[in-house]
């Protein structure tokens, strides 16, 4: 059993084409003993965004603070703290901070299949 503050985990810059002003903290990982899925928290500064992309695994997301838009390549859906977002495998998606404060959200993913 492990109990720790989310901010005791180092925030790393997300270095990816199409990402701007985004950091990630890997909170619960396979290396820690999680057998099925991983918990990360993303922190996006004002005007920042994650890449517009898709991949063959789902996202289970909970918005912790701030406000933003979920862009699917065509339309943008606004969200704010308290929103739940489910992105299915192979759906295009991008998270943008549309507010004046930090946007932070949990994003959980299954481990890659081996």
Residues that bind its own copies (CB under 8 A): 1-7, 9, 27-28, 32-37, 39, 58, 60, 62, 64, 70, 72, 77, 79, 82-89, 91, 93, 106, 108, 110
Nearer to its own copies, 37 or 45 (CB): 37
C-alpha distances in Å from residue 30, one per residue of 9, 26, 43, 71, 109: 15, 10, 21, 29, 11
Nearer to its own copies, 22 or 87 (CB): 87
Q: In the complex, what is the shortest distance from the CB of residue 13 to its own copies, in angstroms, rounded to a whole number?
A: 21
Nearer to its own copies, 15 or 31 (CB): 31
Say which residues have a Cβ less than 8 Å from residue 21's Cβ, sequence separation at least 6.
44, 45, 46, 47, 48, 49, 97
Measure the CA–CA gap between 107 and 14, rounded to whole angstroms.
Answer: 14
Nearer to its own copies, 7 or 13 (CB): 7
Measure the CA–CA gap between 95 and 104, rounded to whole angstroms.
Answer: 10
Q: In the complex, what is the shortest distance from the CB of residue 53 to its own copies, in angstroms, rounded to a whole number?
A: 14
């Amino acid at each position: 059993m492990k109990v720790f503050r989310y901010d005791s985990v180092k925030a790393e810059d997300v270095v990816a084409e199409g990402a701007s002003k985004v950091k990630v903290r890997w909170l619960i990982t396979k290396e820690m003993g999680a057998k099925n899925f991983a918990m990360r928290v993303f922190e996006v500064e004002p005007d920042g965004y994650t890449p517009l992309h898709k991949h063959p695994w789902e996202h289970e997301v909970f918005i912790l603070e701030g406000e933003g838009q979920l862009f699917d390549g065509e339309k943008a859906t606004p969200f704010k703290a308290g929103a739940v977002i489910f992105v299915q495998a192979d759906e295009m998606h991008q998270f943008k901070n549309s507010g004046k404060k930090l946007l932070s959200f949990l994003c959980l993913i299954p481990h890659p299949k081996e």
